[in-house]
Amino acid sequence: MSKALTKQELHNLAMNIVGEDLQERGFEFIAINSKLGKHPQFVCIDKNNQRYFVLVRAVPYPDNPNNYDIVWMETFKNHALENEAKVFYAGVGLRNARDPKEPLMLNENYLLEYNGIQVIEMHLN
């Protein structure tokens, strides 16, 4: 019998999805933090040595993975500005493939809603 994925395991799955996307886009990782609730999850640079903070969030069905807490994001943008970094947000929607009311289970199929990395505007509101 399969077991339901924990919040940390869901977060790790989301991080794997986003990490592969970042690699395909040519980013180089400086630091990775997979601990749930610690931000940013990825610190990376592009070919011009621009630093990026990447925030990854695993979002359970039926919530919209593209939405984030705007007030919290303003605080985080301050942190990024202090470190001369730009901010990316990556919401990863995950749900059980058989029944959306059931949790994701280990070694079972799931449905993914991932619209890629969102660039967060750095001007402060």
pLDDT in tens, the chain (125 residues): 689 999 999 999 999 999 999 999 999 999 999 999 889 999 999 999 999 999 999 999 899 999 999 988 998 999 999 999 999 999 999 999 999 999 999 999 999 999 999 999 987 55
Q: Please report whether residue 1 resides in a domain.
A: no
Range of the domain at 65: 7-120
- In 4-124, which ranges are continuous DSSP H helix? 7-24, 70-82
Q: Please report whether residue 2 resides in a domain.
A: no
Total count of domains within the chain: 1
What is the separation of C-alpha 26 from the centre of its chain, rounded to a whole number of angstroms?
17
Taking the model in full, what pTM does it have?
Answer: 0.93
Q: What is the pLDDT of residue 2?
A: 81
> CATH code at 57?
3.40.1350.10
State how far the Cα of 4 lies from the Cα of 30, in Å rounded to an integer: 32
State how far the Cα of 72 lies from the Cα of 54, in Å rounded to an integer: 14
